[in-house]
Amino acid sequence: MGLTGGNRLELLGYTVRRLGGLGLVLLGVSILVFVLLRGMPGVDPLSAYLTPGLPMSPEALKGLRQELHLDEPLPLQYVYYVIDLLRGDWGFSRTAAQPVIPALLARLPATIELAVSAVLLSSAIGVPAGIIAALRRDRMPDIVVRVVSITGISFPVFWFGILLQLVFFYYAGQLGLPALPSRGRVDDLVALQYPLTPVTGFFLIDSLVTGNLPFFASALAHLVLPAFTLSLIGLATVVRIMRASMLEVLRQDYILLARSKGLPLRTVLLRHALRNAITPVLTTAGTTLGILLGGAVVVETVFSWPGIGRLAAQGILNNDSVLVVGFALFVATMMVVVNLAVDILYAVVDPRVRY
Amino acid sequence: MSGVAQPGETATLEVEGLSVELGIGGRWVRALNDVNLTVRPGEALGLVGESGSGKSLTALAVAGLLPDNARVVAGSIRLRGEEVLGRSEAQLNRLRGRSLAFIFQNPTSYLNPLLTIGAQIAEVFEVRPELLLAEGGDRLGRGARRELAWRKVVEHLRLVHIPDPARVARQYPFELSGGMQQRVVIAMALIRRPSLVIADEITTALDVTVQAQILSLLAELRASLGMTLLLITHDMGIVAQLADRVAVMYSGSVVEASDVMSLFAEARHPYARALLEAVPQIDGDATTLRAIPGGIPAITNPPPGCRFHLRCARVFEPCVLAVPTPVTLGERHSVACHLYGEGRV
């Protein structure tokens, strides 16, 4: 049964109400970021504009302070700051050698491609594994799933990434087996030989729609190891929550009624149980996606993945405060947007949420 | 213990010597002990007893829906002559779909919160597509079949007196009151034209006025559709209103079975009598409420002999020593009590 007209209207109202909340959250984040930027002891906002070893005349400094509104009271400085943010002027990053917004946007498709793949992968593995564990509770499959997931969550993810590189790139290569690439988004030679026509910035999508299959194959191969590594962040949680939630739902009375109707087990599980059990998993997957979209700083660095996380890591090492603060604001925005998307998805799945 | 089906007539439900054990705290405990029940076509059997007496467990066993920690250790359950025990899950599904329909205690928790009323009712046609064939559905395409299914859903919602049935079919359970939800569950049962409807404490979760409405609806449907009913309740008033025959359960056994009139006129088992006396009566200007002293024994630690003897006003020596065997008192009337043992009737 699809959504009726009235249901769609309720959904729209719900979305608008949630959007209002989103504005408030971003206001809070901007205040926090502003305080960090201006309130940190010993950090002069001017330092971002000074090159070490190249002194400026006092007159030039004074002019700069005036231009940056640094002589105004703090609340007024905040207003100027927010106006700049809204105008899209987030400052200039020395690390990227370009303004913050274009620097982040240019690297965003790589991060999205990696984060979405990782979350899809952890759901594709975690949801069935959780269901099987719940159905075979306390028996062999359940025990295996539980042991593997607790082991997975106990290892640092970057360590796992390095291990995968060692096995599937280094050892596989030494043994003459087909090895998986361990760094970057695509093979440089392939990129030279079969140049990609950019459409969306997502390598997989662009190469597919333009029919550039060699590029697609190379991009896919490059995605495997980092995406799998990153998927481990959410995998154990998805498995455990799916299992617990499924066990809870299978105890419900409506499952008994559905079974008493003579419906086959498959229908009872997929139509009646899974839909009810999936909501907590949506939250986890959504939160994980939010975190990963904010740049998987460590994994992107380990795999030399040219996303926003790796840029942020470079910014931190370069003391590029403009970039780091811009990155923080950007990550918060992504998190809020993803949470909104999850909330809307809730309302689609569960009609009770719409009111 | 209750009468055997007459020759030439297959009973809708026959439970014979059913014993079920529950796994509790690492050991198996007897929860149903040699239960015998017969429901003939068109009949309504009231299964009465306190909570914990095994009524619901009996009903779940009939549907092959016992919980994971339960096992049948002896007996036979036949639905229209077909044995239920020992069937595979697929065979059970077919049997449930064809022969049985449940109406449960709390409609709110028995309806799936995420599916519309119509979708939940219409899915029975997936199990029993032949229900759509009766009106020439075999010649219909997919769209027309869906339309017919939808029409039947609306028609059955109207049958249980739901106002504006076409709108309700598109609503979700949380948009309906408890009484309306119970009507939906009843419609869901009726649409399948089951051989046996099992109604388990169906009014307990509802307001008193709504209870009365649901009971009169059930009586009306029974008269108009010739429904065969297994009515599980702790309320003798409901039995008097709806049932033809009654079986009284106590601590996992049927202690007395007879037709409703005889039981109300002359209940033999001390427990059945006490149960009838526990129904509030208004004598002149004083309201008396008689309770049965004590509580139902824990099945993990049952008393020896007759399980009722600790609470029985007429207890005597044999009750402590032996479990009473059922004695036939008249046509389809039997009682399991030492007071009516050999030579004592």
Assess if residue A63 is contained within a domain: no
Over residues B285-340, the pLDDT tens digits come to 555 667 777 777 887 888 888 888 888 888 888 888 888 888 888 878 889 988 88
Q: How far is B221 from chain A (nearest CA, A)?
A: 20
Q: What is the spatial distance between Cα A103 and Cα A310, in angstroms, rounded to a whole number?
A: 12
Contact between residue A185 and residue A303 where contact means Cβ atoms under 8 Å apart: no
Q: What is the spatial distance between Cα B41 and Cα A181, in angstroms, rounded to a whole number?
A: 72
| pLDDT value of position B136 | 58
Q: What is the spatial distance between Cα A261 and Cα B101, in angstroms, rounded to a whole number?
A: 7
The low-confidence residues of chain A, meaning pLDDT below 70, are: 1-7, 39-45, 47-52, 295, 355
Assess if residue A161 is contained within a domain: yes
Inter-chain residue contact B172 with A351, CB threshold 8 Å: yes
Nearest to B110 among A253, A262, A264 (CB): A253
Assess if residue A246 is contained within a domain: yes
Inter-chain residue contact B100 with A253, CB threshold 8 Å: no
What CATH number corresponds to the domain at position A325?
1.10.3720.10
The low-confidence residues of chain B, meaning pLDDT below 50, are: 1-5, 343, 345
Q: What is the spatial distance between Cα A174 and Cα A20, in angstroms, rounded to a whole number?
A: 57
Q: How far is B122 from chain A (nearest CA, A)?
A: 11
Mutate to test the interface with B, among A10, A261, A275, A276 (most CBs of B within 10 A): A261
3-state secondary structure of B211: helix
A257 CB neighbours in chain B (<8 A) are 102, 104, 110-111, 185
> Which chain B residue has the Cα nearest residue A348?
B114
Contact between residue B228 and residue B192 where contact means Cβ atoms under 8 Å apart: no
Assess if residue A188 is contained within a domain: yes
Q: Tell me B130's DSSP state.
A: G
User: What is this model's ipTM?
Assistant: 0.82
A272 CB neighbours in chain B (<8 A) are 112, 115
Contact between residue A75 and residue A68 where contact means Cβ atoms under 8 Å apart: no
CA angle B63, B67, B70 (to 5 degrees): 100
Assess if residue A198 is contained within a domain: yes
Assess if residue A7 is contained within a domain: no
Question: What angle do the packed helices A321-349 and A275-293 form, to 10 degrees?
Answer: 170
Please report how many Cα atoms fall inside a 13 Å half-sphere around the Cα of residue A106, on the Cβ side: 11
> Which chain B residue has the Cα nearest residue A135?
B68
> Which chain A residue has the Cα nearest residue B189?
A261
Nearest to A258 among B109, B112, B170 (CB): B112
- Is A350 an 8 Å CB contact of chain B? yes
CATH 3.40.50.300 fits B13-114+172-340, yes or no: yes
**What's CA A165's distance to the chain center, in Å?**
22
A259 CB neighbours in chain B (<8 A) are 65, 96
* The pair of three-digit structure tokens given for residue A75, joined into one six-digit string: 């609340």
Q: What is the dihedral of CA A19, A22, A23, A25, to 10 degrees?
A: 160
Instruction: Return left, alpha or beta for B68; rule: phi > 0 is left, psi -120 to 50 is alpha, else beta.
Output: alpha
State how far the alpha carbon of A51 is from the alpha carbons of A48, A255, A312, in Å. 8, 69, 21
Q: Tell me A168's DSSP state.
A: I
Q: What is the spatial distance between Cα A12 and Cα A347, in angstroms, rounded to a whole number?
A: 10
Q: How far is B45 from chain A (nearest CA, A)?
A: 20
Assess if residue A24 is contained within a domain: no
A351 CB neighbours in chain B (<8 A) are 114, 172, 174
Q: How many domains does chain A have?
A: 1
Assess if residue A196 is contained within a domain: yes
> Which chain A residue has the Cα nearest residue B175?
A352
| pLDDT value of position A116 | 93
B65 CB neighbours in chain A (<8 A) are 256, 259-260
Q: How far is A2 from chain B (nearest CA, A)?
A: 10
Q: Where are the domains of chain B?
A: 13-114+172-340
- Is B69 an 8 Å CB contact of chain A? no
> Which chain B residue has the Cα nearest residue A352?
B174
A positions 212-271 inside 8 Å of B (CB): 252-254, 256-265, 267, 271
Inter-chain residue contact B102 with A262, CB threshold 8 Å: no
- DSSP symbols for A67-125: HTTTTS-HHHHHHHHHHHHHTT---EETTTTEEHHHHHHHHHHHHHHHHHHHHHHHHHH
| pLDDT value of position A101 | 92
Q: How many CB pairs under 8 A join A and B?
A: 81
Query: For residue A184, what are the domain limits?
Result: 95-354
To the nearest whole number, what is the mean pLDDT of chain A?
Answer: 86
B106 CB neighbours in chain A (<8 A) are 253
